[in-house]
Amino acid sequence: MTEPSTQEQTTTTNNAPANVAVDTSFENDSSYGDELSSYTASLTSSVLDYRHENGRRYHKFRDGSYLLPNDESENDRLDMAHEMCLLILHRKLYLAPIKNPQRVIDLGTGTGIWAIDFADLHPQAEVIGCDLSPIQPSLVPPNVKFLVDDIESEWAYENNPFDFIHARNLLCSIKDFEKLIKQCYRSIKPGGWVEFQDWDGYPYSQDGSHNDTGLKQYFDEVHGAFQKAGYEVRPGVKLESLFKDTGFVNVHVEKFVAPHGVWPKDPHLKEVGTWMQAQAEAGYEGIALAALTRYQKWTKEEVMILASKARADGRNRKIHAMYDFYVVYGQRPEN
Ligand SMILES: C[S@@+](CC[C@H](N)C(=O)[O-])C[C@H]1O[C@@H](n2cnc3c(N)ncnc32)[C@H](O)[C@@H]1O
């Protein structure tokens, strides 16, 4: 499963257009955007004894270390985000040039949807999905299994390393990406690949239309709270240097833009933006609640108001917000 060359090099593909054109054909029309209307893990009862707070359900294992809920509504959002990521990558699950992987792990697997799709695509591979929450389905391909574990703790995979390690959408989840990527390096076979797909969690606009909006205020407050609590909210921008500093070779970076909403003229970006809006609307409250109430002493009602302003501005086609999404992969040298 190796590339012929392990010579040190970095390639970057910038898929982000210099200017994302606005679809002005329905600037005054309000109809379009509003339509978005078998565990093999040792599951002890304590793992399932979830925390309930402000009407949401949270993981119990390593209680308090992840600030987003793990209930049905959040899991639906994760599956929407999966569809959005597939769209961004033109329906590819990964971009690394892996060949015939035998042992694969998906870090922070969430609902396990990526791991299940990967296992279907590579029936010869043994795929592990690892998460704090046992929220994955039990009816899964025979070559996938799920483990409850904390990927920020010390790993014990060095004597049984992987061919491919994958991690996606771990912004607001991980405090120490440098340590995580070093653990990946130690647990990947020589010649094996590690791929992270992640975000710069702060949206922006090319025309300034996102300034002074409820959407901007939402991310300033919420991601500000995550940052104060020690979580990385912009991992995408740091991945390349973390991979290179760790010793990975053949590091490749692909940068994409993901608009928020249906405003782009380009049909592909409009579709990505539609999914972005859908998953964001499913997530505004859940993403913000624990970060702002536990760490910033906001009330639930204050969070609801912040979320509703973000939702309203997120639907406004005159606000042309977008995010940068990065796919970074690298190879452990053969020798
Ligand atoms: C935003 S979700 C992303 C899910 C999945 N990677 C995807 O792209 O669909 C982040 C996931 O990471 C998990 N997580 C957060 N911190 C973790 C940790 N320290 N160890 C294991 N899983 C963790 C959460 O429980 C959650 O399911």
Residue 132 lies in a domain: yes
Give a yes or no: residue 1 inside a domain: no
320 CA to middle of ligand 1, Å?
A: 29
Q: Each residue of 248-263: b (16+ CB within 10 Å) or e? A: bbbbbbbbbbbbbbbb
CB atoms closer than 10 angstroms to residue 331: 26
The reply to whether 2 falls in a domain is no
Summary mean pLDDT of the chain: 92
pLDDT digits (tens, 9 = 90+) for 28-70: 443 333 323 334 444 567 788 899 999 999 999 999 999 999 9
**Could you tell me if residue 5 is inside a domain?**
no
Q: In angstroms, what is the span from residue 298 Cα to ligand 1's centroid?
A: 24
Q: How far is the CA of 169 from the centre of ligand 1 (A)?
A: 8
Ligand 1, residue 197: give the atom nearest the CA: 8
Q: Does residue 249 form part of some domain?
A: yes
pLDDT for 2: 32
In a domain, 3, yes or no: no
Query: Where residue 70 sits, what CATH number does that domain have?
Result: 3.40.50.150
81 Cα nearest atom in ligand 1 = 9
The count of domains in the chain is: 1
* Most informative mutation of 132, 148, 222, 226 for ligand 1 (most atoms within 8 A of CB): 132
Strands 10-14 and 249-259 turn out to be parallel
Where do runs of H (alpha helix) occur along the chain? 45-48, 72-88, 113-121, 177-186, 214-228, 235-246, 267-295, 300-314
Residue 174 lies in a domain: yes
pLDDT at 162 over 60: yes
Atom of ligand 1 nearest to the CA of 106: 6
The answer to whether residue 121 is domain-embedded is yes
- Pick the atom of ligand 1 nearest to 170's CA: 10
Distance CA 258, CA 75 (A): 21
Lowest mean pLDDT among 33-47, 106-120, 150-164, 187-201: 33-47
Q: Which domain holds residue 64?
A: 10-37+39-331
- Ligand 1: residue of 48, 50, 66 to mutate (most ligand atoms within 8 A of CB) is 66
Say whether pTM exceeds 0.85: yes
* Statement: residue 22 has pLDDT above 90: no
Residues 190-194: what's their mean pLDDT?
A: 98
